Structure 1
Amino acid sequence: MSVLDAVGGSVTPGAGGSVMHLVVGPERHGVVIFARWLARETAGAGPVTHLNYTEALFGPDTTSAAQAFAELVGGLAGRVTVTLHDLPDPGDEPGRYRRRAAGFRRVVEAVDGVCVSSEHEHRRLTALLGDAAGRVPVQVIPLPIAAAEVVPPVRRPRPDGRVAVFGYIYPGKGHAELLGEMAGLPGDIGVVALGRAADGHDDLVRNLHGDRPFEVTGYLPDADLGRRLREVAVPVVPAPSVSASGSLNTWIAAGRRPLVVDSDYGREFATDCPHLVSLYRPGRLGEAIRAALDDPARTWLDRPPPAARCEAAVAGAYRAFFARIAAS
């Protein structure tokens, strides 16, 4: 059995039959969805093999995941590049951070070029690489925002009165922090988790159920997801240590303007994309939710995303990156 067979993946060919993208992991995973989109948009861009890496796609722990990645890449010919996701947070428990940092260093050492999705991630990567920083080219290319519609007031559905978080449920996603900050709000304001528990975290869902109404929808197919994103009253991205967020981009693609915790990445996004998000300070989310419930227009886009964040520009930036690595 090959390493690719062991971790589960597929090959998207580039021009002339050369391998362009190796997509590893289950098709519903957010990183895999992004990888498949990137493969469709950039196939044939050049003789570079590209992968997307987050530990959960390659192994049960950071050490085995990095080893599986390195073994897979070691069997490839030509230039290899990677987009890194979920970079280690220096604020984590020190032992966990050291293990994860060592794993990501091994991944970077195995390739010829690296992409990250925010300046915040670039800073994290530089810190964990230490003296090795600069040995491999690193490019910041933001995650794409699918075509977003500015929904006029007359077409907005009646809000259902609930606060919502979109994406997998796992420690650090922010569901627990959200519920804690809602302690001062009326008990009939419910919370809905649009998604399912990440593998191995069903116990977290049980712990989230308390006095306040709390729904977990499970996986939502695209046909249902757009409707659910639009009908909730208050969209929130509460992850305290997020470094780049496909969930945030999904809210925006649905025409929503979510509440986003004031963090390094939150501020970076708000600066690059004015008027697309509403930042709140930790400890002040309850006030922000009250304001959004009182004035629902705050939770809807009043202008489209900047062109540089849209799919065509992001795909173009990746094509240019592949060409640069292939020519190096």
Structure 2
Amino acid sequence: MIHLIVGPAAHGVTAYALQLADALGTVDIVREETFTEAPLPDGPIHVAFTDHLFGAGPDAAVETLLARVGERPLSVSFHDVPQPEEGAERFARRAAAYQRLAAAADVVGTNSEHEARFFDAPSSVIRLPIPQVHSEFDPEPGTVGVLGYLYPGKGHEYLIAALDGSGYRLRFLGAVSKGHEAWAEELARHAEITGWLSDDELAAEMGRIEIPVCAHRHFSASGSLMTWLGAGRTVLATDSDYTREIDAWLPGRITRVSGSWRDAVDAFQPEVLDPPRYGWADVATAWEDAWHSAGLE
């Protein structure tokens, strides 16, 4: 299996691809910071796909990728799967491209059952790994924390509005995504933004948070949620198909919020549990099983 890995290492999808390749051991890798049209080696190709890493638009991304792969067998790990909530026009454009790529692939992998239901083509559900985060629990009273890159749609604004005047202190652990600097300046008037953190710094900052929150308005997979769970933390998270799915898989770790965030934060009782054991070795084995079932070795 040849792994075509595209994008900057700090990008979540690229990081997933790099970590999967590392977990698999000795694999052939074609590594590109920016997607090119250079010829690929012969053999099955695996890609971790999100459209903006592969082209100027979703149609162009899929068209160029399929042309480059040619007749080789293709395996795709799909990320940022389209959702209607992103807007009718954008959703229609991205949905058509993702469906076309899935139909052309020999193996389709998604991170959740919620995402799998989007595709017409059958897919293997291979959940995001839960990292083992060694975070000392030493919370500062009244702190509410959101983890990961900052960009619109993760619920930062809704938390600010819900907790305004409450006495809680909002801390956003992560860097601002490129292009959203002006938006983040407004957030910084109401919350602390740490900026980029190393793994050790992140673990320490997580331990300072009393109430971990995943307030995404619409999400179908979440590395941020997995990271909180990997620290053994119980989490407040928006009620959704995805969080109901994870709650059924790992009961007792998520408190789902469908009403008032202020009421949910007031009522939350933080706990630290033994973290779930599901890591990159499990993800790699699941991918190997999917390739074996499809005759791709």
| TM-score band, normalised by shorter chain | 0.7 to 0.9
Q: Paired residue for 1:16?
A: none
Deviations 1:42-89 (A, max 9, x none): 245896321101123223433333334334333xx6321011011111
- The reply on whether 1:311 has 2:280 as its aligned counterpart is yes
TM-score by length of 1: 0.79
Helix, strand or coil: the match of 1:326? coil
Q: Given the superposition, is the C-alpha separation of residues 226 and 49 from structure 1 closer, same or farther in structure 2, using an over 3 Å criterion?
A: same
Give distance in 1, aligned partners of 2:296 and 2:54: 29
Selected match of 1:145 from 126, 130, 134 = 130
Deviations 1:119-163 (A, max 9, x none): 1001122xxxxxxx24xx4111111112366x8xxx621425321
> How far apart are residue 206 of structure 1 and its match?
2.2
Q: Runs (4+) of structure 1 moved beyond 3 Å?
A: 43-48
> How far apart are residue 93 of structure 1 and its match?
1.8
Bigger mean CA deviation after superposition, 239-248 or 316-325: 316-325
On the 8 A contact 2:3/2:27 being kept in 1, the answer is no
How many residue pairs end up in the alignment? Answer: 283
On the 8 A contact 2:49/2:76 being kept in 1, the answer is yes
- The reply on whether 1:199 has 2:178 as its aligned counterpart is yes
Selected match of 1:65 from 61, 65, 80 = 61
Bigger mean CA deviation after superposition, 312-321 or 113-122: 312-321
Structure 1 portions without partners, runs of 5+: 1-18, 126-132
Q: Given the superposition, is the C-alpha separation of residues 325 and 274 from structure 1 closer, same or farther in structure 2, using an over 3 Å criterion?
A: same
Q: Given the superposition, is the C-alpha separation of residues 326 and 221 from structure 1 closer, same or farther in structure 2, using an over 3 Å criterion?
A: same
- The reply on whether 1:286 has 2:271 as its aligned counterpart is no
Counterpart of 2:129, as a letter, is: P
TM-score by length of 2: 0.86
Tell me how large the CA RMSD over aligned residues is. Answer: 2.4
Q: Paired residue for 1:10?
A: none
Q: Paired residue for 1:8?
A: none
Give distance in 2, aligned partners of 1:79 and 1:43: 21
Q: Paired residue for 1:13?
A: none
- The reply on whether 1:38 has 2:20 as its aligned counterpart is yes
User: Which one has the bigger helix percentage?
Assistant: 1
Counterpart of 1:286, as a letter, is: R
Instruction: Note the 1:1-328 alignment, pairs <5 A.
Output: 19-43=1-25, 48-74=44-70, 78-125=72-119, 133-134=120-121, 137-147=122-132, 156-159=137-140, 161-183=142-164, 185-186=166-167, 189-210=168-189, 212=190, 214-281=191-258, 283-292=259-268, 295=269, 298=270, 300-305=271-276, 307=277, 309-327=278-296
Give distance in 2, aligned partners of 1:220 and 1:318: 30
Structure 2 portions without partners, runs of 5+: 29-42
